[in-house]
Amino acid sequence: MNKQQVAEKLASCGQEHVMKYYDELTEGEKELLLSQAESTDFSVLSSLGSLKGGNERGVITPLGAMQLPEIRQKEKEFKEAGLEAIKKGKVGAVLLAGGMGTRLGSDDPKGMYNIGITREVYIFQRLIENLLEVVKEAGAYVPLYVMTSDKNNEATVKFLKEHHYFGYEEKFVTFFMQEMAPACDPDGKVYMEEKWKISTSPNGNGGWYTSMHKWGVAQKAMEDGVEWLNVFAVDNVLQRIADPCFVGAVIANNCASGAKVVKKCAPDEKIGVICLEDGRPSIVEYYELTDELMNAKDENGDPAYYFGVILNYLFRISDLEKIRERNLPLHLVEKKISYIDEAGNKVKPEAPNGYKFEQLVLDMIHEMDSCLPFEVERNREFAPIKNKTGIDSVESARKLCKENGITL
């Protein structure tokens, strides 16, 4: 597109300010800006108003989970089935590491964060060490696919290479990048990160399979015989990946997907809950949980929506293929977005000043015909790091690592 065409595109969606500094840019910068404006999908911005009111949901009803006593009883059978699948190369793991980790406040990718006290222990290292335990038990590698974003790909790839993948064989590690989406102010105007660059953010973790496909990585996985993908978050340092018992339970129950869940520790705990929505498996994010659902009780007097997800899901690839083209709902996330102000100065805000548009992996569960919610012991498997201190922080995760005998 030439300057005129880009200007028309921008005018049609109320984003003329993108060209404000055009005339003072170098030729190279002009080209970059025109090409970014051409490829950016501004259509998400038009949903800002409706998304501020939250997403419309269907009829929500409770969904039970396979709980610890039953799992313990069938552990041997599940584990054998899971190990068998891993040995045959049918299970891959997908590390979602494209996020910005803004709450943690480090400029590096979250996985590069050192949580060690007496030695260096990086978040990536913790995850890989856990996965290596399974590799050892199965006597076979689990292909590891790492999703990064435009913001952190270079640093992530470099860091993992420099650290020799923390003992993981390089040939089993594949990187791919997720898509970006424009970030805007409360009026729906995109922020400018530089005079020649529209501010964009990773478009949420829900696009992981589409991106994996776009990069040809999903196709290669299928060619290699991978049938199941265990998707997990970068920030849970107790994350059990390709857990044979979980994998085996999902396979034995002939489910299209599985979700590791924990009993919520408080009705208002900030985790999504597993449920049925219009009769299909689904997850309601904590900020969409009404007081009525939050306080509902089952016949035993327990919370009716008791099980929270920990961002560890297993998907059957053949079922992911069926939904690849479907659009997931958009979610609006308030974020701190750095920008160029009216006077052309760079501003790094202290508080959220705008919105990102994200699709979420949890919405993929609703697209699946079946899902096995699989309970895990929270103190053994759930130590998320979202913040530096307080709830879900480096502090709380260190404490939990210690409880689990991990020397930091």
Q: Are strands 197-198 and 192-194 parallel, antiparallel or unpaired?
A: antiparallel
Identity of the residue, 153 or 282, whose beta carbon is nearer to ligand UTP in the bound complex: 153
Quick one: which segment of 39-47, 71-79, 185-193, 231-239 binds ligand UTP (CB under 6 A)? 231-239
Residues 93-122 that bind ligand UTP (CB under 6 A): 96-103, 110
Number of residues counted as binding ligand UTP (CB under 6 A): 21
Residues 180-219 that bind ligand UTP (CB under 6 A): 202-205
Site string for ligand UTP, 135-154 (x = CB under 6 A): ------------x-------
Identity of the residue, 100 or 340, whose beta carbon is nearer to ligand UTP in the bound complex: 100
Determine contact, residues 272/362, Cβ cutoff 8 Å. Answer: yes
Identity of the residue, 358 or 363, whose beta carbon is nearer to ligand UTP in the bound complex: 358
Determine contact, residues 360/248, Cβ cutoff 8 Å. Answer: no
Determine contact, residues 132/168, Cβ cutoff 8 Å. Answer: yes
The Cα–Cα gap between 188 and 208 comes to 25
Identity of the residue, 243 or 358, whose beta carbon is nearer to ligand UTP in the bound complex: 358
What angle do helix axes 3-12 and 27-39 make, rounded to 10 degrees? 40
Q: Are strands 354-358 and 331-335 parallel, antiparallel or unpaired?
A: antiparallel
Q: Does 235 bind ligand UTP (CB under 6 A)?
A: yes
Identity of the residue, 71 or 211, whose beta carbon is nearer to ligand UTP in the bound complex: 211
Q: Does 239 bind ligand UTP (CB under 6 A)?
A: no
Tokens 């219009």 correspond to what residue?
278
Q: How far is the CB of 106 from ligand UTP (least distance, A)?
A: 10
- Number of continuous H segments (helices) and E segments (strands) in the chain: 14, 18
- Map residue 235 onto helix, strand or coil: coil
Identity of the residue, 66 or 142, whose beta carbon is nearer to ligand UTP in the bound complex: 142
The Cα–Cα gap between 180 and 36 comes to 11
Q: How far is the CB of 350 from ligand UTP (least distance, A)?
A: 15
The Cα–Cα gap between 51 and 358 comes to 11
Q: Does 234 bind ligand UTP (CB under 6 A)?
A: yes
Q: Which residues touch 45 (CB under 8 Å, ≥6 apart)?
A: 13, 15, 182, 184, 188, 190, 357
Q: Does 262 bind ligand UTP (CB under 6 A)?
A: no
Q: Does 233 bind ligand UTP (CB under 6 A)?
A: yes
Q: How far is the CB of 218 from ligand UTP (least distance, A)?
A: 16
The Cα–Cα gap between 211 and 216 comes to 9
Residues 344-373 that bind ligand UTP (CB under 6 A): 358
Q: Which two tokens stand for residue 276?
A: 């049925």
Q: List residues near ligand UTP by CB under 6 A.
A: 96-103, 110, 147, 178, 202-205, 233-235, 311, 358, 386
